[in-house]
A and B are shown apart, each in its own frame.
Chain A
Amino acid sequence: MSAAIEIAGVSKVYDGGVRAVDAVAMDIRPGEFFSLLGPSGCGKTTTLRMIAGFDSPSTGKICLDGADITHVPAHKRDMAMVFQNYALFPHRTVAENVAFGLRMRKVDKATIAAKVKAALAMVELSGMEDRRPAQLSGGQQQRVALARAIVISPRVLLCDEPLGALDKKLRQQMQFELKQLQKNLGVTLVFVTHDQEEALAMSDRIAVMNAGRVEQIGTPTEIYDQPRTRFVADFIGDTNIFRGQRAIMDQGAGLAVGSGLVLTLPKAVATAGNEAGLSVALRPEKIVVSPSSGADGGSAGRSARGTVESTNFLGGAVLYRIVLEDGQRVLAQQPNSGARPFHAPGQAVTLSWQPGDLVILED
């Protein structure tokens, strides 16, 4: 039922010469929850529109289960899309909206009625059949859009920021439900979002896009733990990025950042060729904050000293903003272990981490 999508070297250049999508390649596996993640204007929606057939690539090709569909018109692609604004037909009732795709497929009336009923039950909208879209709340409209898409059992489900207009609570609930639904149906789902938390929570794999290009494709944990580029590290979650020069240390290769601070690089990278400059990322939650004891000689390269600038209690964690001795600001997040008091602003602290937690970034 579900299909694989292969996007090979696809570019989209608009009339004005704007390169919205630039040599994008990705293989989306059957039954996969695949997210296109990036800031607005990164080309994710254009990519989705090309998969749907609303835009045609300037170069490259798109295949569905091996068959080239680059020039197949949208209405023959057997995909279903959930639009950002839902795009429900305002002049038709909820039931008519959901039945639309089945009618176009010339399904007989009795089957349509049964399938519409089942689809509306699946999204918990039974009894709303005769309402008009304008009479529904945003969350209900969203569900109608979803029912209208899944009722035709599409080979691929496309979602363009479908949860963007919902408030946070409803959004989280719908994230969960959409994920469940996708797993139960086993349908291939391509999901466009600019919300990195949403992408991490729902996806099997994520393609992070920036300025029309794919920066990295990987599972949520790969994307978060091993960001390949500076953009990915910066875009996904909070991160500290250090930039510096290679340096030789007692324990192996190091990175001299700013004045005086030298970071020990992980073993795997220590042998890599000598570059002029290098960026490394360190996640705030990988840093341990402890009161400054004065003698930290044993942990040179894996620790730094600084002063707490601000302390933000987040509930489940505490977020410290710390100024290092060379003036660089670092975020450090500690789980709320119950220990009190927190480090107060102005307090001298020592930050420490494992060299293996440093991730070397491409610029």
Chain B
Amino acid sequence: MPATGAPRVNSLALLILPSALLFALFFFLPIGLMAVMSVLTGNPVVMPHVGFTAKHYARIGNDSYYLEVIWTTLRIGLWTTIVALVIGYPLAHWMARIRSRSGHALLLMAVLAPMLTGIVVRTFAWMTLLSDKGVINQVLAALGLISTPLQLMYNESGIIIGLVHIYVPFMVLTLTGVIGRIDERLEQAAENLGASPWRTFLEVTLPLSLPGILAGSLLVFALAISAYVTPILLGGFQIMTLPILIYQQISANFNVGFAAALGMVLLAISLMLVIAYNHVLGLVSGQRELQ
């Protein structure tokens, strides 16, 4: 046991100082402030006397409108996640198993290229496709398949289409990493023992890629429920989600306390998901130890 006083700190540990500071300043501090604001009667910057209150939370809980908004947000997030998974999984599997290097590079480009364009631009692109006078409706009308335009946007499915397009790359990249680490010989062993390719997928590949499915879904869901631009543009204020509501409370109603409370609800949902994710991962961890 060394007798000298202060514990020795590896000087390399100092390297995390910048990121620790960044986190403290731009992550914990704002969230802390938001938490405080959500239980204050007013904005302490402009009002001299403020007290503590739970009225903002009570308002959310007592008004079915706000619960409806929360439910809409979750529903959009859930559908976005499911569709992104269904589209992303085959693509990720293909990317993880493609042998040719140039083929892999091409797929990676295809997945990443949309991310080089801003979300607003991509959302406007969807509007030109989905609107009443958009490409899809024009083509269908020209073919004589429809007489009145289909309602493709200013509804939830329009928002989901836009969100899926934006978040599929996150799903694909997360899944590719996990599927790529599955030993192909496990799949061969299954086939060798008489499992058809489809059965092999269900019995071996799918269960072993579960951690990737969970991680990718968590990521996409968290991003989708906090999305703002796409729900506004493709929803055209017809669909109210939590982020839009929060923005309205701040910019139109100047009700910072209520906005903070709504923000805390959004944060709590995300946190609960992360905890649930860790729990489920622990349950399937039998396979993790061996990787």
Residues of A at the B interface (CB closer than 8 Å) are: 15, 52-54, 73-81, 83, 85, 87-91, 100-101, 104-105, 132-134, 148-149, 152
Query: From A52, which residue of chain B is reached at the shortest CB distance?
Result: B192
- How many residue pairs link A and B with beta carbons under 8 A? The number is 81
Cβ contacts under 8 Å, B204 to chain A:
89
Separation of A85 and B287 alpha carbons in the complex (Å): 16
Binary interface profile of B, 157-192, with partner A (CB < 8 Å = 1, else 0)? 000000000000000000000000001011011111
| Contact in complex: B189, A87 (CB < 8 Å) | yes
CB distance A104 to B193 under 8 Å?
yes
Choose one: A87, A90, A100; the contact of B286 (CB below 8 Å): A90
B278 CB-CB contact with A under 8 Å? no
Query: Do the beta carbons of A91 and B287 come within 8 Å of each other?
Result: yes
Residues of B with C-beta under 8 A to A132: 286, 289-290
Q: A52-B188, A134-B289 are in contact. List 20 more A-B contacts (CB 8 A).
A: A15-B99, A54-B191, A75-B191, A83-B189, A85-B183, A87-B185, A87-B188, A88-B189, A89-B186, A89-B190, A89-B203, A91-B286, A100-B190, A100-B193, A101-B194, A104-B193, A132-B289, A134-B286, A134-B290, A149-B193
- Which residues of B sit under 8 angstroms from A73, Cβ to Cβ? 191, 197
A152 and B193 within 8 A (CB): yes
Instruction: Decide: B192 and A80 in contact? CB cutoff 8 A.
Output: yes
B183: which of A15, A87, A105 is its contact (CB, 8 Å)?
A87
Indicate whether B136 reaches chain A with its CB closer than 8 angstroms: no
22 contacts between A and B (CB under 8 A): A52-B188, A53-B192, A54-B191, A74-B192, A76-B194, A77-B192, A78-B194, A79-B192, A81-B188, A83-B188, A87-B185, A87-B189, A89-B189, A89-B203, A90-B186, A90-B289, A101-B193, A104-B199, A132-B290, A134-B286, A134-B290, A152-B193
Of A73, A79, A104, the most chain B CB neighbours within 10 A belong to A104
If the complex has contacts A85-B183, A89-B186, A91-B207, are A75 and B192 also in contact, measured as CB distance less than 8 A? yes
A90: contacting residue among B191, B196, B290, CB under 8 A: B290
- Contact with A75, one of B99, B185, B194 (Cβ below 8 angstroms): B194
Tell me the smallest distance from the CB of A307 to a CB of chain B, in Å.
Answer: 53
- For residue A149, which residues in chain B have a CB less than 8 angstroms away from its CB? 193
Interfacial chain A residues near B191, Cβ < 8 Å: 53-54, 73-75
- Set of chain B residues within 8 Å of A90, measured between Cβ atoms: 186, 208, 286-287, 289-291
A79 cross-chain contacts in B, Cβ below 8 A: 192
Task: For the complex of A and B, list the 7 residue pairs with the smallest distance between their C-beta atoms, beginning with the closest.
Answer: A101-B193, A104-B194, A90-B290, A91-B287, A134-B290, A87-B189, A87-B185
A81 and B286 within 8 A (CB): no
Measured CB to CB, the residues of B under 8 A from A are 99-100, 183, 185-186, 188-197, 199-200, 203-204, 207-208, 284, 286-287, 289-291
Q: Which residue on chain A has the smallest CB distance to residue B183?
A: A87
CB neighbours (8 Å) of B193 from chain A are 75, 80, 100-101, 104, 148-149, 152
Shortest CB-to-CB span from A109 to chain B, Å, is 17
* Chain A, Cβ-Cβ closest to B210: A91
Cβ distance B196 to chain A, nearest Cβ, rounded Å = 6
Interface centre among B99, B284, B287, by most chain A C-beta atoms within 10 angstroms, is B287
Q: Which residues of A contact B190 (CB under 8 A)?
A: 89, 100
Q: How far is the CB of A181 from chain B (nearest CB, A)?
A: 18
Select from chain B the residue with minimum beta-carbon distance to A54: B188
Knowing A132-B286, A134-B289, A134-B290, the reply to whether A87 touches B194 (Cβ < 8 A) is no
Complex contacts, A134 vs chain B, CB 8 Å: 286, 289-290
Residues of A within 8 A of B286 (CB): 90-91, 132, 134
Closest to B185 in A: A87
Contacts of A83 in B (CB 8 A): 185, 188-189
B82 to chain A, nearest CB (A): 23
Q: Given the complex of chains A and B, what is the CA–CA distance between A105 and B183 in angstroms? A: 24
Q: How far is the CB of A252 from chain B (nearest CB, A)?
A: 56
The interface centre, meaning the residue of A79, A88, A89 with most chain B CB atoms within 10 A of its CB, is: A89
Closest residue of A by beta carbon distance from B196: A75
Q: How far is the CA of A133 from the CA of B191 in the complex (A)?
A: 19
Assuming A75-B194, A152-B194, is B290 touching A87 (CB within 8 A)?
Answer: no
**How far in angstroms is the closest Cβ of chain B from A106?**
10
Whole-angstrom distance between the Cβ of A158 and the nearest chain B Cβ: 8
Once bound together, how far apart are the Cα atoms of A91 and B183, in whole Å? 13
Chain B contacts for A77, CB-based, 8 A = 192
State the Cβ distance, B284 to closest chain A Cβ, in Å.
Answer: 7
The residues of A that contact B197 with a CB separation of less than 8 Å are: 73, 75
Name the residue on B nearest A135 (C-beta): B289
Residue of A nearest to B200 (CB): A75
Set of chain B residues within 8 Å of A89, measured between Cβ atoms? 186, 189-190, 203-204
Cα A132 to Cα B192 with chains together (Å):
21
CA–CA, A95 and B196, complex, Å: 21
Chain B residues near A87: list those with CB within 8 A.
183, 185-186, 188-189
A272 to B218 Cα, complex, angstroms: 78
Name B189's closest neighbour in chain A (CB-CB). Answer: A87
